[in-house]
């Protein structure tokens, strides 16, 4: 038999907790706490808790603060956990405030009746259905909104390619790309517009990969490409072209064009010793995280962090036309040296008397990136 779902009952009144315990006994496994702070600690540590029943006037941390902390938690199981408030019959203001914070339901403090069991069981059942739907989406082949492969399906594709590699010595590369500072982008634009930035980026990637490559989601603001028959060197060349294209091309989100950069992690066989497709994807993801940590806008392959290559004049002009002078500025020493012959010719042709000697002196003092 399945274990009874665990409910956390939180209230300062011991008699009320005992009455609820007696009412729920047999249908629920009841855990009691007398204050909000103890309830929060229980929620964090006890992963078996499925639902919370709490009063609003709690010692140490009141019910509203507890609910707000639950809904703001970084743990998904807490953010989505059903929370029921115990309220008085005429507590309209309390109800409005609780609804604004995301309460799931209300029970009357003086109405401990068998109906409570049914209502709590319904909330637990709905939560279980939600979890099942999320699990089904995780195992689906394609994301319904973006049309990209899911991470689970990418692992299947990588596993098939890994098997081919082992049997026939075919190279396999995996690339994981992630927006630098994606959390800040979400805070500035909101979730909907940030998702649109991701969708535009995925469309850019779709137009650049081969038919035999598989593109899909890796994480929030992160994408992965599985490339059978591609060496790490070729994959790194492609990744660098993508990095430069994103750097030079602001992505449209609503009425705004957003300047973004990406970091890239690469992994592949036979260069990397991995035991499974999941390990290969995770390794590329770890290297992407290392690229983020190293300052972003770069790629990591084979444990080696590669800073952006010396900037070409063509790429510098692309960035300047896109309003990205900040990205060009660190490369001015190298770019200026390339431009000196042209400046000298212009000076000679038009008699401009440019201070070229001073320009050349300043360039010599400047480090080449």
Q: Which two tokens stand for residue 25?
A: 């006994």
47 and 184 part of one domain: no
265 occurs within a structural domain = yes
| Residue 167: band (very low, low, confident or very high) from pLDDT cuts 50, 70, 90 | confident
Q: Which range, 53-57, 139-143, 257-261, has the best average confidence (pLDDT)?
A: 53-57
290 and 162 part of one domain: yes
Sequence-distant (≥ 6) Cβ neighbours of residue 23 within 8 angstroms: 112, 113, 114, 116, 117
Query: What's 159's domain CATH number?
Result: 3.30.70.270
Residue pLDDT, tens place only, 71-92: 998 888 899 899 999 998 888 8
144 occurs within a structural domain = no
194 and 279 part of one domain: yes
216 and 303 part of one domain: yes
116 occurs within a structural domain = yes
123 and 168 part of one domain: no
| Residue 188: band (very low, low, confident or very high) from pLDDT cuts 50, 70, 90 | confident
DSSP state, residue 117: H
Q: Which range, 149-153, 171-175, 303-307, 332-336, has the best average confidence (pLDDT)?
A: 171-175
Query: What's 133's domain CATH number?
Result: 3.40.50.2300
314 occurs within a structural domain = no
Averaged pLDDT, 38-60: 93
Lowest-confidence region among 150-164, 213-227, 275-289: 150-164
Averaged pLDDT, 27-32: 93
C-alpha triplet 277, 280, 284: angle, nearest 5°: 145
- Residue identified by tokens 């900037």 is 311
Percent of the chain exceeding pLDDT 90 equals 38
Sequence-distant (≥ 6) Cβ neighbours of residue 333 within 8 angstroms: 363, 366, 367, 368, 369
**How does strand 172-179 pair with strand 222-228?**
antiparallel
Separation CA 41–CA 256 (nearest Å):
43
146 occurs within a structural domain = no
Cα 341 to its chain centre, rounded Å, is 47
Separation CA 22–CA 32 (nearest Å):
12
Q: Which of 138, 167, 182 is the last residue of a domain?
A: 138
Compute the mean pLDDT over every residue in the chain, rounded to the nearest whole number: 86
345 and 199 part of one domain: no
Q: Which of 290, 309, 328 is the last residue of a domain?
A: 309
For the chain, the straight-line distance linking the first and the last C-alpha, in angstroms and rounded, comes to: 66
118 and 39 part of one domain: yes
Are 333 and 369 in contact by the 8 Å Cβ rule? The answer is yes
- Residue identified by tokens 């990969």 is 209
Residue 342 clears pLDDT 90, i.e. is over it:
no
pLDDT score of 368: 46
Q: Which two tokens stand for residue 81?
A: 């956990």
305 and 338 part of one domain: no
Separation CA 157–CA 164 (nearest Å):
11
Q: Which two tokens stand for residue 238?
A: 């492609």
191 occurs within a structural domain = yes
Longest dimension (CA), the chain: 98
| Residue 369: band (very low, low, confident or very high) from pLDDT cuts 50, 70, 90 | very low
130 compared with 40, residue with greater pLDDT = 40
Q: Which two tokens stand for residue 61?
A: 């941390």
Separation CA 285–CA 365 (nearest Å):
39
Averaged pLDDT, 104-128: 86
128 and 157 part of one domain: no
Crossing angle, helix 356-365 and helix 332-350, to 10 degrees?
170
Lowest-confidence region among 75-89, 129-143, 319-333: 129-143
333 and 281 part of one domain: no
Gyration radius of the chain's alpha carbons: 29
125 and 188 part of one domain: no
> The whole model's pTM is what?
0.52
Residue pLDDT, tens place only, 30-42: 999 999 999 999 9
Residue 208 clears pLDDT 90, i.e. is over it:
no
Residue pLDDT, tens place only, 4-26: 899 999 999 999 999 999 999 88
1 occurs within a structural domain = no
Strand ranges for the chain from DSSP E: 6-10, 29-33, 49-55, 83-87, 105-108, 172-179, 214-219, 222-228, 251-253, 256-258, 262-269, 299-301, 304-306
182 and 302 part of one domain: yes
pLDDT score of 308: 52
Q: Which of 76, 110, 138 is the last residue of a domain?
A: 138
Separation CA 97–CA 56 (nearest Å):
11
Domain count, the chain: 3
Domain containing 342 equals 320-365
| Residue 127: band (very low, low, confident or very high) from pLDDT cuts 50, 70, 90 | confident
pLDDT score of 11: 94
79 occurs within a structural domain = yes
């Amino acid at each position: 038999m399945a274990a009874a779902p665990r409910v956390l009952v939180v209230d300062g009144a011991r008699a009320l907790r005992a009455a609820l315990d007696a009412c729920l006994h047999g249908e629920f496994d009841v855990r009691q706490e007398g204050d909000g702070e103890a309830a929060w600690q229980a929620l964090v540590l006890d992963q078996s808790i499925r639902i919370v029943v709490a009063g609003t006037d709690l010692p140490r941390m009141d019910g509203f603060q507890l609910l707000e902390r639950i809904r703001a938690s970084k743990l998904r199981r807490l953010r989505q956990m059903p929370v029921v408030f115990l309220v008085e019959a005429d507590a309209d203001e309390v109800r409005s405030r609780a609804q604004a914070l995301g309460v799931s339901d209300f029970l009357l403090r003086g109405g401990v009746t068998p109906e409570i069991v049914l209502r709590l069981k319904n909330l637990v059942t709905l939560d279980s259905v939600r979890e099942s739907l999320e699990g089904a989406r995780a195992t689906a082949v394609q994301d319904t909104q973006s049309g990209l492969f899911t991470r689970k399906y990418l692992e299947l594709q990588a596993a098939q390619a890994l098997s081919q590699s082992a049997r026939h010595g075919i190279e396999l590369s995996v690339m994981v790309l992630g927006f630098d500072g994606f959390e800040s982008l979400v805070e500035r634009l909101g979730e909907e517009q940030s998702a649109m930035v991701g969708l535009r980026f995925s469309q850019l990637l779709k137009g650049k990969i081969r038919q035999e490559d598989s593109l899909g989601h890796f994480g929030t603001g992160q994408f992965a490409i599985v490339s059978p028959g591609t060496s790490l060197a070729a994959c790194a060349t492609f990744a660098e072209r993508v990095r430069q294209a994103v750097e030079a091309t602001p992505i449209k989100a609503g009425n705004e064009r957003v300047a973004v950069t990406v970091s890239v992690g690469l992994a592949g066989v036979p260069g990397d010793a991995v035991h499974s497709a999941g390990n290969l994807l995770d390794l590329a993801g770890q290297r992407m995280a290392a690229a983020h940590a190293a300052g972003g806008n770069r790629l990591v392959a084979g444990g080696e962090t590669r800073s952006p290559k010396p900037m070409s004049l063509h790429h510098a002009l692309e960035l300047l036309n896109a309003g990205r002078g900040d990205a060009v500025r660190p490369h001015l020493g190298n770019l200026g040296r390339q431009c000196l012959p042209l400046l000298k010719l212009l000076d000679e042709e038009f008699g401009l008397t440019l201070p070229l000697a001073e320009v050349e002196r300043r360039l010599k003092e400047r480090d080449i990136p």
